[in-house]
Amino acid sequence: MIRLFSSLERDLGIDMGSVNTHVYVQGRGVVLSEPSVVATDTKQEFIVAVGADAERLLLRTPDMLEELRPLKDGFIVDYRVMLTMLRHFMHKASRLVSRARVIMAVPCGITDVEKRAMTDAIIQAGAREAYLIETPVASALGCKLPVFEAQGNMVVDIGGGTTDIGVLSLGGKVVASSARIGGNDLNEAILQYIKECFAVMVAEETIEAIKLELGTAKMPEEEAELTFTGRDMSNGLTKRIMVRKTEVYQVLQDPLKRMADEVKRVMEVTPPELLADIMEHGVLLTGAVADMDGLADYFSHELGVPVWVPQQPGFTVAVGLGKASQEFERMDRFIIASKNRKGRA
């Protein structure tokens, strides 16, 4: 029984995003969900902490540490820091990394150089084998869409830095696109509104709280409000501010419209027979942002097709990576890059 359990632990699925990282261990499910952040000394010479530990330290002693996020819009901007973070998460999730086959989700359309960098990092972090699949594929698998059948399946995954859109059929990708707009853009829209209207600076945590509590894609039927503190930009003093749900709704309209327009562009180049399937079966909407009040209805109205959101949409990609390892023999057309420890791609 111990040997069987150990063998099930050998496959890891890693959904490493610009904001959060989720790790799926075969036989155990999602075992790790932490911020994709690293804390270094102020000279950026030494890494002090990674993930949740880094976030806690940065909140307590922000002046003594530097915050680094090695991924931006889903792409590597600091390889050394990314490798350290990846190694930390992999070894924290499993004791059997040296025997692990790792499947990672990546944005659609990454370059060959970026693919090579990511597979190299996985191997350097200790894995036996590294495989990359695109985020919409993992989302579709996580929701058990019939991607190996002759049916058009459309997935829209909204991450922190990107919105990845894919049309899948017969075990392969038909159309895919990655737009550099995501949950971070919603936060940025709220932040700019607060700066312009109230002339205060607020913490990222406050902006995230506003989005989670008041964020909506539909006109609120009932008003709600949130009071928070910020630093007055004119005199540096603490100032209390109150923002309403209707205000946040108006602020979010522009970035949401840009997301919907990106999905429309993919639909315009989708083969008619597959588009007919999508019109009938709908579009799958995943990513943590998908839980926003009214978002599915908003996209459905904008796109003219049914849109549905699974339970716990933020973990769909990670769960799908676990499904990919179970269906590995059928994944040939979905794997976009691979490498093993002996260096063979």
43 among annotated binding-site residues: no
Q: Is 161 annotated as a binding residue?
A: yes
182-202 mean pLDDT: 96
**Lowest mean per-residue pLDDT among 12-16, 128-132, 235-239, 243-247:** 235-239
Predicted local distance difference test score (pLDDT) of residue 181: 95
Give pTM, 2 decimals. 0.92
* 8 Å CB contact between 164 and 134: yes
Where are the alpha helices (H) located in 125-234, listed in sequence order?
A: 135-142, 183-198, 204-214
Number of structural domains in the chain: 2
Q: Are residues 30 and 171 in the same domain?
A: no
* Domain of residue 35, residue span: 2-138+316-340
pLDDT tens profile 106-132: 999 899 999 999 999 999 999 999 999
Whole-number Å distance between alpha carbons of 200 and 232: 4
Q: Are residues 62 and 172 in the same domain?
A: no
For 44-64, write each residue's pLDDT tens digit. Answer: 888 999 999 999 999 888 788
Residues 285 and 323: their CA atoms lie apart, in Å, by 18
Check whether 211 is labelled as a binding-site residue.
yes
Amino acid residing at 123 = I
Q: How far is CA 166 from CA 65, 108, 147, 262, in A?
A: 39, 8, 11, 11
Nearest to 14 by CA among 101, 117, 116: 101
51 a known binding residue? Answer: no
Q: 115 and 204: one domain?
A: no
209 in a labelled binding site = yes
- What is the Cα–Cα distance from 85 to 233, expressed in whole angstroms? 35
Residues 108-117, buried b or exposed e (16+ Cβ, 10 A)? bebeeebbeb
The yes-or-no verdict on residue 8 having pLDDT over 70 is no
* pLDDT one-digit tens code per residue, 242-294: 999 999 999 999 999 999 999 999 999 999 999 999 999 999 999 999 999 99
Query: Span 153-180, mean pLDDT?
Result: 96
Determine the Cα–Cα distance for residues 200 and 169; give it in Å rounded to an integer. Answer: 49
The pLDDT of residue 95 is above 90? no
Residue 82 lies in a domain: yes
In a domain, 345, yes or no: no
Pair (163, 291) in one structural domain: yes
In terms of Cβ atoms closer than 10 Å to its own Cβ (0-12, 13-18, 19+), residue 231 is middle
pLDDT score at 6: 43
What pLDDT, on the 0 to 100 scale, is given for residue 43? 82
Write a three-state SS string for 41-95.
ECCCCCEEEECHHHHHHHHHCCCCEEEECCEECCEECCHHHHHHHHHHHHHHHCC
Q: How many residues does the chain have?
A: 345
- pLDDT of 344 reads 58
CATH of the domain at 214: 3.30.420.40
Lowest mean pLDDT among 21-25, 61-65, 152-156, 261-265: 61-65
pLDDT on residue 3: 40
Same domain, 159 and 210: yes
Q: Are residues 132 and 151 in the same domain?
A: no
Task: Report the interhelical angle of 183-198 vs 245-268 (nearest 10°).
Answer: 140
Q: Looking at the structure, do residues 114 and 154 belong to the same domain, yes or no?
A: no
* Whether residue 156 sits in one domain with residue 127: no
- pLDDT range class, residue 1, cuts 50, 70, 90: very low
pLDDT attached to residue 4: 39
Q: Which residues are bridge partners to 154 per DSSP?
A: 167, 283
Q: What is the pLDDT of residue 125?
A: 95
